[in-house]
Structure 1
């Protein structure tokens, strides 16, 4: 159980007898692995790989135990505190299940929690800066939308995308193009949101489709692929689409 994993991590972090690699890690060096493991969980789910999901959930759990152990060494909190905190939060956010009476909305409960933790009273407070950019853009837009700052329908968002494309074209310096390309991506996320599409999931699907088609092109051409002209590669791309490599 989780206690066994906690004890294993304690041994790995032991300054005298532990693993040198584990001992030298800190929150900053482990954080990228935590993010990576979360994505690998999502990948296993998308592939329908239950054996893989079991393994990846274990890897993700290890990240929680690792961070909790480092915090315990620093005298901040320990694994029990982490588990107690999330248990209390889930009970607090589900009064209709664990308490009496009607429940306020999920977002209202979270907003009240944020208000008690920070002096930042912005509607955008608490949207983590380390989130993937597409996901953070969507969360910022949803927060703003709850204040009434939003397009009434998807048409306004679509027109904004067209406007931003023109501004990228008109930019005359790399810095300006960089800024306008960011605005364009932000606008595309907004349009996807208005259409009810998860932009992160849509881009992952597009990545997977591109990879399948490109690999099909390589398979059709064999060793000659690298030496083909762009027109020849484009013909292979069309053929890959025709063969439903999508």
Structure 2
């Protein structure tokens, strides 16, 4: 999907050529050297040498022009909330492009997701109480990545992959001291299968689920797993059951169990018999998973 033909943006439709041209991002502002729009907007019109703008600067300036007075009415009225549906759509299209193996599609869809980031940053820059822009977004991300890689940017010695992962979790714990559970920070709006993978992974990290426990199903590859999952969904659908809702319900129970185990370990009161699934639990660790 072209980012400049966002659904709902019809401001140029039905206009004369002259009227439509006035809404397009110009290559330069009147009276300025033949530099990019981004350079003109960001650095101002002066006789002094101007930094060379990048394509990202041009995109930032394009969004600013679309949202400015005289720009696109549809873009101007958008909010963080109204754009969520487009961010979701573009993210899924990016995933599809990654899985399709088309580099041209990947290039386009990465651009669409980048456009969403720039759009949200532009809204934030104009919203009282937010007051940050795309430069602040990039600066925060750079600071985060540098801080989480002391073995690259700091004095820490070169580390193994396992040590890097463990160190990453330690740094995140320092960054977010308000999180009291391994489950904190997991977006509950994730698709159920992705959420299940994330929840089980967090449980394994703190020893609530044994990583070397016997497999409940003898599955050796994704090629085998896919048809099994499809068969489960098909069987559920045939009986009028909602697979997504069923898995989410099971995950809510599992997350309650994990939090109870964390609390029990903290105060020494947890026993294996406290599991809500104890009657049907397999010996898969401190928490029990239902037998299949």
Shorter-chain TM range is 0.5 to 0.7
DSSP-derived class of the 1:27 partner = coil
1:97 aligns with 2:156: no
- Verify the 8 A CA contact 1:68 1:82 in the aligned structure 2: yes
Please give the alpha-carbon distance, in whole angstroms, between the structure 1 residues aligned to 2:124 and 2:186: 23
- Specify which of 194, 199, 205 is matched with residue 146 of structure 1: 205
Please give the alpha-carbon distance, in whole angstroms, between the structure 1 residues aligned to 2:247 and 2:88: 28
Aligned to 1:233: none
1:40 aligns with 2:105: no
1:10 aligns with 2:77: no
Rg (Cα) greater in structure: 2
- Relative to structure 1, the CA distance from residue 96 to residue 111 in structure 2 (aligned partners, 3 Å threshold; closer, same or farther) is closer
- How much has 1:142 moved relative to structure 2? 0.8
- Verify the 8 A CA contact 2:192 2:248 in the aligned structure 1: no
Please give the alpha-carbon distance, in whole angstroms, between the structure 2 residues aligned to 1:121 and 1:31: 28
Where structure 2 has 5 or more consecutive residues not aligned to the other structure, the ranges are 1-54, 219-231, 255-283, 285-292
TM-score of the superposed pair, with normalisation by structure 1? 0.61
Q: How does 1:192-231 map to 2 (within 5 A)?
A: none
Superposed CA offset, 1:87-138 (max 9, x none) = 1222122222222223553354244334433523111111122322221221
DSSP-derived class of the 1:112 partner = helix
Aligned to 2:190: 131
Aligned to 1:155: 214
- Relative to structure 1, the CA distance from residue 82 to residue 151 in structure 2 (aligned partners, 3 Å threshold; closer, same or farther) is same
Alignment length, in residue pairs?
176
- Verify the 8 A CA contact 1:115 1:121 in the aligned structure 2: no
TM-score of the superposed pair, with normalisation by structure 2? 0.52
Q: Judging by fraction of residues, say which structure has more helix.
A: 1
- How much has 1:29 moved relative to structure 2? 1.5
Q: Please give the root-mean-square deviation of Cα atoms over the aligned residues, in Å.
A: 3.5
- Relative to structure 1, the CA distance from residue 118 to residue 37 in structure 2 (aligned partners, 3 Å threshold; closer, same or farther) is farther
1:121 aligns with 2:180: yes
- How much has 1:156 moved relative to structure 2? 5.4
